[in-house]
Amino acid sequence: MNVCGRYTLLAEELDILEAFGISNPIEEYQPRYNIAPGQNILAIVSDGQKKKADYLKWGLVPNWAKDPKIGYKMINARTESAADKPSFKRLMEQRRCLIVADSFYEWKRNGKEKQPLRISLQDRKLFAFAGLWDRWKVGDQELVTCTILTKEPNDFMSEIHNRMPVILPKDKELDWIEKEKKDPYEMRDFLLGLPDEALTAYEVSSYVNNAKNDGADCVLPLA
């Protein structure tokens, strides 16, 4: 199981627009209980003037890739090495995005079993993962895809998993997506130096294990 391989976005559209200062409506927005790799996910990019919310396919397909199936292996990128990797270096410079969420799932090993947990921020509902995006085009086939950056776990997450997604503090979101070209190592250090926000978690049922299950039962606390 990838780190940050599933998450939720249950907020109302208006709350998302307000939280992230977006003026364009989100086409065909639907709250989601079990967002999975390979699906279209809500991301925010900046053109230097304003922020725009749109759907990107989760699973990065670099613009030089021969086969778009590579995306299934690239749902996450390690922040520590992203500035060194051909797939991510150019994106760290100029193709950074926010991936909108309100909780994520992680599976904690419990003997031979893995117990799913729903993890969210203690003090605010909506947040953004740090993401990277790219555009792949061959003939008339085009994909705009993204990946979620991960890092070493904080004290809270280390009890659950050996990696965690990078969650941007509210006042650092614009710094991450501003349009200017940046040094990829500077952006790596920016992410690794972010303060940790307090997290909370509770156990949910194995219903969430199946990516086809996308209903309220996914987030019900385990009895």
Those residues whose C-beta lies under 8 Å from the C-beta of residue 93, and which sit 6 or more positions away, are: 181, 182, 183, 184, 187
**Residue 97 a catalytic site member:** no
**Residue 18 a catalytic site member:** no
User: Of 13, 18, 80, 106, which is the active-site residue?
Assistant: 106
Those residues whose C-beta lies under 8 Å from the C-beta of residue 168, and which sit 6 or more positions away, are: 98, 127, 128, 129, 130, 176, 194
Q: Residue 10 corresponds to which tokens in the numbers above? A: 């249950």
Q: What is the pTM of this model?
A: 0.96
Per-residue pLDDT, 88:
96
Grouping H, G, I as helix, E, B as strand and the rest as coil, residue 42 is: strand
Question: How far is the C-alpha of 130 from the C-alpha of 78, rounded, in Å?
Answer: 11
For each of the domains in the chain, give its residue range(s) and CATH number, in order of start. 7-219 (3.90.1680.10)
Please name which of 33, 166, 19 lies closest in space to residue 105, comparing C-alpha atoms: 33
Per-residue pLDDT, 48:
83
Instruction: Give the residues across from 72 on adjacent strands.
Output: none
Q: 66-104: string of b/e by CB count within 10 Å (b at 16+)?
A: eeeebbeebbbbbbeebbeeebbebbbbebbbbbbbbbb
Those residues whose C-beta lies under 8 Å from the C-beta of residue 166, and which sit 6 or more positions away, are: 79, 129, 130, 148, 149, 150, 151, 191, 194
In tens digits, the chain (223 residues) has pLDDT values of 467 799 999 999 999 999 999 998 999 999 999 999 999 999 999 988 889 999 999 999 999 999 999 998 999 999 999 999 988 999 999 999 999 999 999 999 988 999 999 999 999 899 999 999 999 998 899 999 999 999 999 999 999 999 999 999 999 999 999 988 999 999 999 999 999 999 999 999 999 999 999 999 999 999 7
Please name which of 108, 100, 82, 127 lies closest in space to residue 206, comparing C-alpha atoms: 108
Question: How far is the C-alpha of 192 from the C-alpha of 62, rounded, in Å?
Answer: 23
Question: How far is the C-alpha of 155 from the C-alpha of 145, rounded, in Å?
Answer: 31
User: Of 4, 97, 146, 218, which is the active-site residue?
Assistant: 4
Per-residue pLDDT, 1:
45
Question: How far is the C-alpha of 73 from the C-alpha of 76, rounded, in Å?
Answer: 8
Residue 147 burial class via C-beta count within 10 angstroms: exposed 0-12, middle 13-18, buried 19 and up: buried
